[in-house]
Amino acid sequence: MEKTDQELIEKIEELRYELKAIILAHNYQREEIQDIADILGDSLGLSQDAARADAGVIIFCGVHFMAESAAILSPEKTVILPCPDAGCPLADMVTPEALRQKKAEHPEATVVCYVNSSAETKAESDICCTSANAVRVVNSVQEDTVLFIPDKNLGHFASQHTNKKVILWEGYCPIHHWVTPEEVIKARQAHPRAAVVVHPECQPEVIKLADHVCSTSGMISYAKKVNTDELIIGTEIGMLHRLRKEVPEKRFYIASPRLICPNMKKTSLTSVLTALENLSLVIKVTEPIRQRAKLALDRMLAIPRDR
């Protein structure tokens, strides 16, 4: 007989305690996964929290590159991705081989790599960035030319806030990229008093229509401080659950009904329980790749934080 959600949660609690495991959930996860998580956040913040946590086992409810980031920062811990096929099309839009070729074409450029990328791609890069600190990272590098990978929309956003030449990689998040200006205009018409907040992975035409552009962590602080009690949110729909819980006095609307990432929704209570029972899939990064990828992350972390 199939277990009820309550039974699954009780079993997860039991095993989590026995194994001294912590459950991390990305802001885009299903509501029931967010609700059982020890820590909720963005990919880099979660990986940093995992590194600090007193736990041997980390259940990373997110997509593959996120669990890799946790493995890069916590090599001594067992990092488990509950759904082995939870990937990221954006991360897959750059390969280390293609990057090496592009670097050879632009030897003058510093490679700035968005954390939504594989460990191997990070290892080929000079410095990482997040959606929260992309502008700061681009401005921090010494060279005048930056090769920004793999998200062209975030790279374009950063290029609008720097004097550096930014070479864009032809990559994008299929969820954010396909939000249209028409959808945002329609949402504004439906909620005329609402502020429009969008993620910088959206297209420039959508960004132009927004009152504020920021990362998922930035959305929480903006929602708390902005002088309006309604917000239209242009990022993956899972974020609305967190916003509604943390800022219950305000109302949130999604900018487009298509802002649903199928990979982020793969993780269920059953897959979390199975992951705890079988301790699988363990995410491993080979030591040479880990060290080089960590260097790119460390260079970013050395820049004062802006989250």
Binding site for ligand CIZ (CB under 6 A): 26, 42-43, 115-116, 130-131, 199, 215-217
Tell me whether residue 8 or residue 59 sits nearer to ligand CIZ (CB atom).
59
Helices (H), the chain: 5-19, 31-36, 43-52, 64-73, 96-105, 119-123, 134-140, 152-159, 174-177, 181-190, 204-207, 216-225, 238-246, 269-278, 287-301
How many residues does this entry show for the chain? 307
Tell me whether residue 106 or residue 307 sits nearer to ligand CIZ (CB atom).
307
Distance CA 79, CA 259 (A): 28
Considering only CA atoms, which of 118, 115, 113 is closest in space to residue 48? Answer: 115
Tell me whether residue 24 or residue 276 sits nearer to ligand CIZ (CB atom).
24
> Residue 186: CB partners within 8 Å, gap ≥ 6?
none
Tell me whether residue 132 or residue 285 sits nearer to ligand CIZ (CB atom).
132
Tell me whether residue 111 or residue 214 sits nearer to ligand CIZ (CB atom).
214
Distance CA 301, CA 275 (A): 30
Buried b (16+ CB within 10 A) or exposed e, 43-57: bbbbbbbbbebebeb
Owner of token pair 């990432």: 261
What's the min distance (Å) between Cβ of 301 and ligand CIZ? 14
What's the min distance (Å) between Cβ of 188 and ligand CIZ? 22
Tell me whether residue 132 or residue 276 sits nearer to ligand CIZ (CB atom).
132
In the sheet that holds 195-198, the strands lie side by side as 212-213, 195-198, 230-234, 251-254
The three state secondary structure string of 22-42 is: EEEEECCCCHHHHHHCCEEEC
Distance CA 209, CA 278 (A): 47
What's the min distance (Å) between Cβ of 236 and ligand CIZ? 8
Nearest residue to ligand CIZ, by Cβ distance, number only: 42
What's the min distance (Å) between Cβ of 235 and ligand CIZ? 7
Tell me whether residue 45 or residue 82 sits nearer to ligand CIZ (CB atom).
45
What's the min distance (Å) between Cβ of 117 and ligand CIZ? 10
Tell me whether residue 141 or residue 197 sits nearer to ligand CIZ (CB atom).
197
Q: What's 92's DSSP letter?
A: G
Q: Is 15 helix (H, G, I), strand (E, B) or coil?
A: helix
